[in-house]
Amino acid sequence: MALSLLVGAAGLGKFLDPRHAAGAMAALNLPHHGGLVRALGIFELTVAVSVIGVGGVVPTGLLAALYGGFAVFAIVALQSDTPLSSCGCFGRADTPPGIAHLSVNALAMSSLAGLAMNGGAIGLAAVDASAAPVVLSGLVLSYLLYALLSVRPRSIA
């Protein structure tokens, strides 16, 4: 759930304001048209809502693939001679992609791929009120991951 919320927030940010993500993509000579970035944002948001709402193998696998793509982007950015002031993850100037981005994305991809191979995430449609502590934990963890990637001081990037 936490990983879905993080991607959903990133997707919504890219949809609402694609400039920062487009700028980061342009700096790395990747396709960066605003419409493309917005489409990516909608896809991220759709996958996140699917995982949270219904779960299953396909949405979980797609979420793993998104995190894999983000990890590759972080690797390319870290290896690039072009320093980035922002990765544009959340549709705004945040922090440059760094080891934290790569680590979170690679670990998320690995965890989600394993989950997809074992039946996928269980969506909220399949749980009852007894899952409230898990849902609350997911909300807290998603904020902590967001803070790690964008709110934290730039000095530890």
Domain ranges of the chain: 2-123+152-156
Q: What is the mean pLDDT of residues 108-118?
A: 95
Contacts of 127 (CB under 8 A, 6+ apart): 134
Of 45, 37, 154, 12, the closest CA to residue 94 belongs to: 154
Distances from the Cα of 118 to the Cαs of 4, 12, 57, 94, in angstroms? 17, 29, 8, 35
Q: What is the pTM of this model?
A: 0.84
Q: State the pLDDT at residue 24.
A: 85
Look at residues 36, 42, 101, 37 and name the one whose alpha carbon lies nearest to residue 72.
101
Q: Are 112 and 3 in contact (CB under 8 A)?
A: yes
153 pLDDT above the threshold of 50: no
Lowest pLDDT segment from 41-45, 70-74, 83-87, 146-150: 83-87
The pLDDT, as a whole number, for residue 23 is 86
Residue 56 pLDDT more than 90?
A: yes
> What pLDDT, on a 0 to 100 scale, did the predictor assign at position 155?
46
The 3-state secondary structure of 19-82, one letter per residue:
HHHHHHHHHCCCCCCHHHHHHHHHHHHHHHHHHHHCEEHHHHHHHHHHHHHHHHHHHHHHHCCC
Over residues 31-43, the mean pLDDT reads 92
Residue 157 has pLDDT above 50, yes or no: no
